[in-house]
Structure 1
């Protein structure tokens, strides 16, 4: 590709950001050399590597490659038989330890099928040579220090050095503190040229026999090596030479071991450099919140909610750009600073990034084409913020592009043919774009010329687009709208800024009737677009509300089904127990009567048993009558009931609302919470209670019905006699109805009993989002058998 576009589209700045993410010199070099590719298979493989590295980053965290050292020069020295010095061996050790960490990083969660990705072969090929790295680390402590325990000979030499040092210090200390004290300048022991000396005053030189190694700047002090320590210093010097020989021998041994692993070291360096480069791409993708684009060879571009990666991510407005499907030429119009150039650069830069194997800052399933070259004539070819170049320099660049562009090129023009006479510039721009359009070259251009808007409207395969501008705020929204040509907004902006109306009207008079009609058409299109978008937004909101209500209804239905199954299960179990008890009692009774028949039992005893049996049956029938055969206080007539009246179903002991009037047989439907049942008129009792009517919500200007119903809800609910599950289901529905009816508070009757029902009721109230507070009833309200709940006020 032509490198000029790299600077024009600021691809080089992306490479700088990528290079900063690499951890090793070799990785940074690979990043700096990264260029877009033209082979689809290579691009796809590079994108897959970036995706796999990004997945590992999110799943396992980062991996440091800072210890990757370039040891290739050291390996060359080993080939010719040289030994490595301490820094070189430490670099070899650092490389192997980095390979070991990378190997361990790849082994995390090893064996899972999802871990088998494109990076697995690279990690598997690493060879840490643990024995070599451990040996180097054991023997060499730092660049200036070799371990005493590196070899037995070195340990022996160093012990001898310590002993020689002790003897020299002991001898010199005796002289300094004894016979030679009066001849010394200071009572200290020092070194000159690696030999131990004492500072003797010049006038007493003859009193201290020995070798003079140095003197002070004034000549008053001579540094003398006493004859008593000359041999000891000689011995110490020999020991230091032996120590150096042992260190060199050690380095030779370590170098020989390193030479045996030279192939692994060379391969490790290449693999770690490659992995560092791939993970740098993944880190950049994570920073930009980028995704992997899909590629095609049909020269189609679909950037979904793309963001320019060099702009502030908190302020940049995503743009959606299509090119190459229904049209191959896109003309973008709009005011200055409206985002036209940003949209142009985003298209070109994301194309270059994608073909370089980098993820792009756009939504999932964005599509990019594989182009042989990307040409751009944008601004001064330096940055978005700076001004335009001259017409002549632009035209020179345009001519070069026309000569070099091919069918598989992407061409980007910013303010095509601007900077000259508008009429001639527009005509020239139309000719250039027509030429590219006939060649089928994918082209995107920005302009202010109205003639190009008409050209796009009247030419097949050419599409208009505009960057939205808010006349109310006099500022761009930076949204790219494809299919709608941009309006100049010059008159509207001037009027908002305070230009007198008579000047604006005079300016309108200078417009041709055709231009004025075209601008009016654009204004109508803009108004229609905004109306459609607003209605679509309302539709989306309604769909979301319907989805939420459906989910809530499904949850309630599941809860009801669960309660129904539990109630049936308990009822069947209770019926089974009753039947078993009746059977057992009947069996016992039959046994008793058989016994009475065989034995000589008096008639009075048999009659007493029969009386006990009759009393038990009467007691059971009485209980059933109390539970299921309650009669209304007064008989209801069909005329007494109206739709919406609150009634009590005596057989179920539940309150409900009349939803149909009685038929000729006296049957009607009653809504009890979420249950709707057919009951007889004789099984109902009319409930008279306070009624609070909910507010009436009217039709809005947008034509939507917010709420138009009047709910009649009692200020009290009685839960006595219900199980906890039944009570909570009724209470939950009752609280919804009471809150919608705008009741300030309600009275919940649950009784005292064991306290289980009261505790469950208060637990539900605590979790309810529109219950402000609740308390137990006071004296006269029902005491602990009642809970008073207060709702939040809107």
Structure 2
């Protein structure tokens, strides 16, 4: 558990005070004052996530206008009790809160788009996820005003009673005006006006004449010279007015009781809604704080390492320009910071402690969002101590007491901040004690930041493997601090140099150097030389890393271009294939037309043209080269350029004779592709001719009408059309001008596709479906021109 004293020394509560300035209610200020480091990592991380989401909501134009509202927490607790009764002024407090809830109710749904805010709101509201009490709000609007007065609109009865009161008072005033204007009364009056005393209407009468006007004395002036008398003539009116006022009070009490009971009924719901309002106002205050101080949610880690990027102390930002703190400590747990007086050492460790405390409390910090903050469960602080007069303790004794407690409780989940460790005693002994403490804290794996001016502590830290050294940079030319932290460097305190700059006597400066000796200076010179070499080494490493990044970037660019070129090549090839197929189809149509025109021409010449066409077709079909399979007689193969299938009969001289469905064809072995088992089965089916019934019909047809036939039953359309085209060409050159295509019926897809294809063919004169004895609709009979 982190002690409040440690947070107070780190100015944590001053930061909460800055956030409170943006709050719209005392209830919100109380909630901000309760902000404290979380005990669990998940709780702290979720709180930071909630801030990130509400920041994103506001940064992207989201609205949440929360006007100031009273703290009704105590009134809600009162409302939970049976029989609670609220005065008009208390109802006014409820009215103000309900108005704010009604105003923001329309925005709540937008927060359900954010996972962490959504979960938080659900946890607060429980089952009912909407807010606002429109019925009670309307009742309160009609009952009380913001000054706590009961309105005439509270009830029709109250409105009537008040009207009667007004009329009665008008009658009383009229009667009194008449009385004071009488000549026989005027002589006894102290003054000519009417007024109220003890809630009764009266006139001022001279004390020595009070018996001259019948009535009741209700008051006397301070001087004792005036008696305020209610004339007997208005007694009846006054009595009626008194009765009306009693009726008014009774009606008001009735109204207040009814409203109090209705508020009691919704007290639990109102409690949750008020808590949500306070939470949202708190988050809005934190967001406004982040805007003012450029604060961001850091990354929280379970690992005990820290990285602060452009970090600043919020309080310093209020008054001056701040040099940002950049710090990264990963592999080592202890950092010893050296440097000149007023160089920023104490501010540095306080900034580290404060920003850590803020982050584990779920608050944004003035640093880059890339900053990494460790989740620690304990923070121990030992800043500069003055002696305690009350306890008769010296500053060193107080220092030792604090260090003893820290050492006893420090562990791997602790953040420890030690300012000027080992001071306020003999430098030799103090240095030895400081080194022993740092070593112990290192062994306990506590994340430790310590400042020192002691030379031996500096050298000890610089020579220890698991302790890091750092310095606050100093401009040796101007003898002024730069307020920048440099990890890995070690510099002197420059006390004598600064004293010399500010005019300290030269003889004393020289004597101090003599007494100081040269050993420390030589050590510092050596360390400075090492630091220089280190910086040059780091510069070279940075240059190498820069070149490596450029090369990696160029490599990635070339790889992307290679992938793009490969994909583009495939697209070009595919497009070329499509265009080639289109050209081939068009060419075939033109050739069919030429066949018709050239029927009477030289048949040898036509065969040469046909061979040429076949050669051109082969060029258009740009298939990927495939490994030639071993082929044997009896294998079922596919002729790639003709899209025909058949069985190999003979293989001679790199060529094969193939039996297709309709004819024997010769082809080169490289043009053949062995078909799969499934395709072979399909091909065997197609090699079987019609069923017995159809066979008989076809045989009858052949005897009566000599013709050629093409059997394509069971084929796909894309397989059948090239065969049909070839069949029509063969018919054009044959003596028979009749042909029959055996396609079967099935679903009619193949039949319709074949007939659609041949209807516009230039070589076809006519076609029809088969007669019943020819095979019916299972065949198409063609007559060529």
- Bin the TM-score by the shorter chain: 0.5 to 0.7
**CA shift at 1:21, angstroms?**
3.1
1:467 counterpart SS class: strand
Change (3 A) 1:186 1:427: closer
2:267 corresponds to which residue? 262
Matches within 5 A, 1:642-681: none
**CA shift at 1:42, angstroms?**
0.6
2:139 corresponds to which residue? 135
- The CA distance in 2 between the partners of 1:24 and 1:62, in whole Å, is 15
Matches within 5 A, 1:690-701: none
Matches within 5 A, 1:3-152: 3-58=4-59, 59-60=61-62, 63-64=65-66, 66-73=68-75, 75-77=77-79, 79-106=81-108, 121=122, 125-152=129-156
The answer to whether the Cα contact below 8 Å between 1:69 and 1:92 also exists between their aligned partners in 2 is: no
Give the RMSD, CA atoms, in angstroms.
3.5
Stretches of structure 2 that go unaligned for 5 or more consecutive residues are 388-392, 551-785
2:180 corresponds to which residue? 176
The answer to whether the Cα contact below 8 Å between 1:65 and 1:276 also exists between their aligned partners in 2 is: no
**CA shift at 1:414, angstroms?**
1.1
Stretches of structure 1 that go unaligned for 5 or more consecutive residues are 383-387, 547-794
The answer to whether the Cα contact below 8 Å between 2:79 and 2:264 also exists between their aligned partners in 1 is: no
1:449 corresponds to which residue? 454
Change (3 A) 1:530 1:207: same
**CA shift at 1:454, angstroms?**
2.4
1:222 counterpart SS class: strand
**CA shift at 1:332, angstroms?**
0.8
Give the alignment's TM-score, normalised by structure 2.
Answer: 0.63
**CA shift at 1:494, angstroms?**
5.4
Change (3 A) 1:204 1:167: same
- The CA distance in 1 between the partners of 2:67 and 2:511, in whole Å, is 70
**CA shift at 1:484, angstroms?**
0.9
Out of 361, 364, 368, which is 1:359 matched to? 364
1:156 corresponds to which residue? 160
- The CA distance in 1 between the partners of 2:381 and 2:112, in whole Å, is 48
**CA shift at 1:538, angstroms?**
12
- The CA distance in 2 between the partners of 1:381 and 1:61, in whole Å, is 50
2:469 counterpart SS class: strand
Change (3 A) 1:381 1:85: farther
Matches within 5 A, 1:323-722: 323=329, 325-380=330-385, 390-490=395-495, 492-493=497-498, 496=501, 514-525=519-530
For structure 1, which segment, 442-451 or 503-512, has the greater mean C-alpha deviation from structure 2 after superposition?
A: 503-512
For structure 1, which segment, 371-380 or 511-520, has the greater mean C-alpha deviation from structure 2 after superposition?
A: 511-520
Out of 300, 303, 317, which is 1:298 matched to? 303
For structure 1, which segment, 227-236 or 119-128, has the greater mean C-alpha deviation from structure 2 after superposition?
A: 119-128
Change (3 A) 1:165 1:320: same
1:276 corresponds to which residue? 281
The question of 1:197 aligning with 2:202 is answered yes
For structure 1, which segment, 65-74 or 445-454, has the greater mean C-alpha deviation from structure 2 after superposition?
A: 65-74
The answer to whether the Cα contact below 8 Å between 1:99 and 1:126 also exists between their aligned partners in 2 is: no
- The CA distance in 1 between the partners of 2:514 and 2:210, in whole Å, is 116
**CA shift at 1:348, angstroms?**
1.2
The answer to whether the Cα contact below 8 Å between 2:92 and 2:145 also exists between their aligned partners in 1 is: no
**CA shift at 1:353, angstroms?**
1.0
1:360 counterpart SS class: coil
Change (3 A) 1:174 1:395: same
**CA shift at 1:221, angstroms?**
3.7
The answer to whether the Cα contact below 8 Å between 1:184 and 1:199 also exists between their aligned partners in 2 is: yes
Bigger Rg, which one: 2
CA displacement, residues 263-290 of structure 1 (integer Å, 9 cap, x when unaligned): 2211112222222333333332222211
1:212 counterpart SS class: strand
Q: How many residues are paired up?
A: 538
1:249 corresponds to which residue? 254
**CA shift at 1:241, angstroms?**
1.0
CA displacement, residues 582-603 of structure 1 (integer Å, 9 cap, x when unaligned): xxxxxxxxxxxxxxxxxxxxxx
1:146 counterpart SS class: coil
- The CA distance in 1 between the partners of 2:406 and 2:68, in whole Å, is 43
The answer to whether the Cα contact below 8 Å between 2:341 and 2:493 also exists between their aligned partners in 1 is: no
- The CA distance in 1 between the partners of 2:232 and 2:38, in whole Å, is 78
The answer to whether the Cα contact below 8 Å between 1:52 and 1:118 also exists between their aligned partners in 2 is: no
Out of 298, 317, 326, which is 2:323 matched to? 317
1:311 counterpart SS class: helix
**CA shift at 1:36, angstroms?**
0.9
The answer to whether the Cα contact below 8 Å between 2:153 and 2:159 also exists between their aligned partners in 1 is: yes
Change (3 A) 1:538 1:311: farther
- The CA distance in 1 between the partners of 2:133 and 2:353, in whole Å, is 46
- The CA distance in 2 between the partners of 1:267 and 1:444, in whole Å, is 43
1:476 counterpart SS class: strand
Change (3 A) 1:527 1:240: same
CA displacement, residues 377-430 of structure 1 (integer Å, 9 cap, x when unaligned): 111399xxxxx9822221121111111112221222111101222222222211
